[in-house]
């Protein structure tokens, strides 16, 4: 059991009609670590998350969560898993406490321990003062925290976070990051899907970059950057015609480039030896890796 | 968690029902208001209107005939409509079922719990027309104590039907087809407002496969005296409930699990 990863996927395939959402996925999440599943919209992240709770059934391959075979023993696995969905599905007419109390029951927290479990979850997400406020009257950030609390009410060993901070303002996002980091420090295994690069970089021990239903790269954020994007990136600014020119020139010289909106980014510029035009030099980032591996085009 | 989890676990079913009960505590007043006021209006209209044209039906005072008949139709509306709309909203709009199925609860348990809860509610509120009828002169009888149970069994089938419809339709407007082509005819050809034995042969056949007709008969006999045929009425309601329960689970699972 000690060497068994908390999540293990082998050759997992999931099709929706003609579309293959997950295409031969291999993935291990060791116990007590946080894995960030990074990928553009439509990469198959949410489908992967849903397969881990048997809300999607794979067409091929094998999955285990906490040692349980999925989907066969998924009910057992779900009892030890907490899920924070991307879409808010709290009961809006109920209070924060009532929402948590219902899920404490659904997750089989014994009757005598439910009240303490709810109090503890409220405390973790700092909503004790709002315990008796209907969800309807909570702010967006509070609702998201309550959603996290709902996923934690039964002290899960494994936490599945699907885009935990999507659509939140920076202050709330940082608050949630601190919360997730604290859970990881306590030893909870976390699988987090996100398309925010900074989020993956800050929270994940390991990042897996997903595109078109497969893992295209996997490693510690810093290692991924070094391996795929080198040390330094040069950003050259200018009007579109100039950018096209710079890009063509850099590629002729054997450099990989990408558009960053208003500039052209030239990767591994530390190897340039004065061959490249002037621009702003910055450290290579996970975003460079992400765009290199998942493509510039928005699907 | 070392205990093995099984199918149809009481803990899962009562957990889902606890959510329903907690939610109900926020809107029970509106439900209670409409379930008492609506039959009052109907009985006033029928008593003062149609009642002046027809004094007795099948040996019963017309208001009492309609009042007892309306128990089953109240149960139909309370269970089928709340199952249709409630299930659709919780599934598509609020995504409540996604959250519940991420917990150790299966679709089978979810549907069973929803049907049980809606049926318990419909069984209790279905008695309102009976209470209102008493104000219009219906004498209390011991058999009336069985009426909530008859309402409950009737509602099991119609709540299952509602969940099934919610799982089948692709958008909420499609419920118009269901209410027009299924609910309204069932409601009219059930012996609530007029006896079906006056109808043409084919309509009597239709009435006999209408579970609501069997519920209407059963409720009237509970109030005015049971007969042996009531066992057949009960059997039809139970068979209908079992069929709808399994169909609802089957179709909703197709919707909820990719």
Q: Where are the domains of chain A?
A: 7-225, 231-283
Say which of B1, B18, B100 has its CB closest to residue A76.
B1
State both tokens at B23: 């939610």
Q: Give B-chain residues touching A85 at CB under 8 angstroms.
A: 95, 98-99, 102
pLDDT at A265 over 80: yes
Q: How confident is the model at residue B51, as a pLDDT?
A: 78
Rounded CA separation A256/A254 (Å)? 7
Q: Give how many domains chain B has, as a whole number.
A: 1
pLDDT of A39 above 80? yes
Rg (CA), chain B: 19
In order of A65, A160, A173, A223, B228, the CA distances from A53 in angstroms are: 9, 9, 25, 31, 50
C-beta separation of B69 from B192 below 8 A = yes
Separation of alpha carbons A117 and A120, rounded Å: 5
**pTM score of the predicted model:** 0.91
User: pLDDT-derived band of residue A169, with 50, 70 and 90 as boundaries?
Assistant: confident
pLDDT in tens, A272-286: 777 788 888 888 888
* A252 alpha-carbon distance from chain centroid: 36
How many other CB atoms are there within 10 angstroms of residue A70's CB atom?
24
- Would residue B2 count as lying in a domain? no
Tell if the CB–CB gap between A55 and B101 is shorter than 8 Å.
Answer: yes
Instruction: Please answer whether residues B114 and A89 qualify as being in contact, where contact means their C-beta atoms are separated by less than 8 angstroms.
Output: no
**Contact criterion met (CB below 8 Å) for A78 and A62:** no
Banded model confidence at residue A172, pLDDT cuts 50, 70, 90: confident
- Residue whose C-alpha is closest to residue B183's, from B161, B200, B215: B161
The residue whose two tokens read 């269901």 is: B178
* Chain B residues touching residue A76 (CB < 8 angstroms): 1, 4-5, 104
CB contact under 8 A, B102 and A83: yes
Nearest chain A Cα to B101, which residue? A55
The DSSP secondary-structure symbol of B196 reads G
Residue A299 has pLDDT above 50, yes or no: no
Q: A96: pLDDT confidence band, cut at 50, 70 and 90?
A: very high
Using a CB-CB distance cutoff of 8 angstroms, which residues of chain A are in contact with residue B11?
A: 105, 108
Our CA-based measurement puts residue A234 at a distance from the nearest CA of chain B, in whole angstroms, of: 45
Distance CA A3, CA B122 (A): 53
Q: Is the peptide bond before A71 cis (omega within 30 degrees of 0)?
A: yes
**Contact list, B5 vs chain A (CB under 8 Å):** 75-76, 79
Q: Distances from the Cα of A135 to the Cαs of A124, A144, B17, in angstroms?
A: 17, 10, 20
B1 domain residue, yes or no: no
Fold of A7-225: Rossmann fold (3.40.50)
Return the higher-pLDDT residue of B36 and A298.
B36
Query: Confidence class of residue A260 from pLDDT cuts 50, 70 and 90?
Result: confident
pLDDT above 90 (res A27): yes
Q: Which residues contact A120 (CB under 8 A, 6 or more apart)?
A: none
Kindly determine whether residue B258 and residue A87, on different chains, have CB atoms separated by under 8 Å.
no
Q: Which three-class secondary structure state does DSSP give residue A134?
A: strand
Element (H, E) at A243: helix A240-252
The number of beta carbons lying within 10 Å of the beta carbon of residue B26 is 15
CA angle centred on B185, ends B180 and B188, rounded to 5° = 130
Is B234 domain-assigned? yes
∠ CA(A205), CA(A210), CA(A214), 5° rounding?
120
Residue B3 domain-assigned (yes or no): no
Contacts of B95 in chain A (CB under 8 A): 85, 87, 89
Out of A108-117, A242-251, B111-120, B153-162, least confident range: A242-251
At which residue do the structure tokens 């069984």 appear? B123
Determine, yes or no, domain membership for B5. Answer: no
**Given an 8 Å threshold on Cβ–Cβ distance, is A108 in contact with B99?**
no
Q: Give me the residues of chain B with pLDDT under 70, please.
A: 1-3
Residue B246: domain span: 10-17+27-256
């Amino acid at each position: 059991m000690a060497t068994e990863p908390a999540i293990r996927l082998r050759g997992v395939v999931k099709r929706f009609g003609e579309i293959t959402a997950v295409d031969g996925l291999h993935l291990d999440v060791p116990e007590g670590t946080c894995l960030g599943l990074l990928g553009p919209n439509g990469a198959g992240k949410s489908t992967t998350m849903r397969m881990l709770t048997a809300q999607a059934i794979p067409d091929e391959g094998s999955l285990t969560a906490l040692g349980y075979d999925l989907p066969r023993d998924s009910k057992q696995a779900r009892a030890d898993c907490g899920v924070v969905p991307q879409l808010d599905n709290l009961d809006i007419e109920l209070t924060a406490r009532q929402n948590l109390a219902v899920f404490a029951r659904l997750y089989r927290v014994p009757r005598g321990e439910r009240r303490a479990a709810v109090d503890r979850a409220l405390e973790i997400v700092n909503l004790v003062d709002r315990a008796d406020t209907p969800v309807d009257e909570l702010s967006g950030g509070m609702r998201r925290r309550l959603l996290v609390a709902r996923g934690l009410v039964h002290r899960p060993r494994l936490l599945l976070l699907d885009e935990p901070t999507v659509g939140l303002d920076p202050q709330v996002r940082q608050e949630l990051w601190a919360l997730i980091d604290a859970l990881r420090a306590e030893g909870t295994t976390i699988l987090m899907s996100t398309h925010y690069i900074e989020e993956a970089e800050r929270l994940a021990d390991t990042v897996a970059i997903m595109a078109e239903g497969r893992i295209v790269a996997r490693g510690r954020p810093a290692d991924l950057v070094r391996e795929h994007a080198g040390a330094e990136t040069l950003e050259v600014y200018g009007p579109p015609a100039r950018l096209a020119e710079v890009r063509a020139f850099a590629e002729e010289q054997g450099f990989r480039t990408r558009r960053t909106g208003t500039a052209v980014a030239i990767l591994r510029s530390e190897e340039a030896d004065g061959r490249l035009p002037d621009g702003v030099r910055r450290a290579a980032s996970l975003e460079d890796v992400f765009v290199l591996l998942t493509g510039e085009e928005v699907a | 968690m070392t205990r093995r989890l099984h199918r149809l676990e009481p803990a899962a079913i009562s957990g889902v029902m606890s959510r329903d009960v907690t939610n109900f505590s926020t809107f029970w007043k509106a439900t209670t208001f409409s379930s008492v006021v609506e039959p009052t209006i109907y009985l006033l209209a029928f008593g003062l209107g149609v009642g002046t044209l027809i004094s007795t039906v099948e040996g019963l005072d017309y208001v009492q005939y309609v009042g007892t008949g309306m128990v089953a139709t109240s149960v139909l509306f309370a269970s089928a409509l709340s199952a249709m709309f409630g299930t659709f909203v919780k599934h598509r709009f609020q995504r409540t079922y996604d959250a519940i199925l991420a917990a150790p609860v299966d679709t089978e348990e979810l549907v069973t719990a929803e049907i049980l809860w809606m049926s318990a509610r419909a069984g209790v509120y279905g008695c309102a027309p009976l209470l209102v009828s008493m104000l219009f002169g219906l004498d209390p009888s011991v058999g009336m104590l069985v009426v909530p149970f008859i309402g409950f069994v009737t509602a099991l089938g119609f709540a299952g039907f509602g969940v099934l419809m919610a799982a089948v339709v692709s958008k909420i407007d499609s419920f118009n087809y269901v209410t027009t082509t299924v609910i309204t005819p069932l409601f009219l050809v059930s012996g609530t407002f007029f006896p079906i034995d006056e109808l043409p042969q084919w309509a009597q056949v239709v009435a006999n496969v209408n579970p609501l007709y069997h519920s209407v008969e059963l409720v009237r006999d509970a109030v005015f005296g049971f007969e042996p045929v009531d066992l057949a009425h009960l059997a039809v309601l139970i068979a209908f409930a079992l069929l709808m329960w399994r169909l609802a689970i089957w179709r909703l699972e197709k919707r909820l699990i990719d």
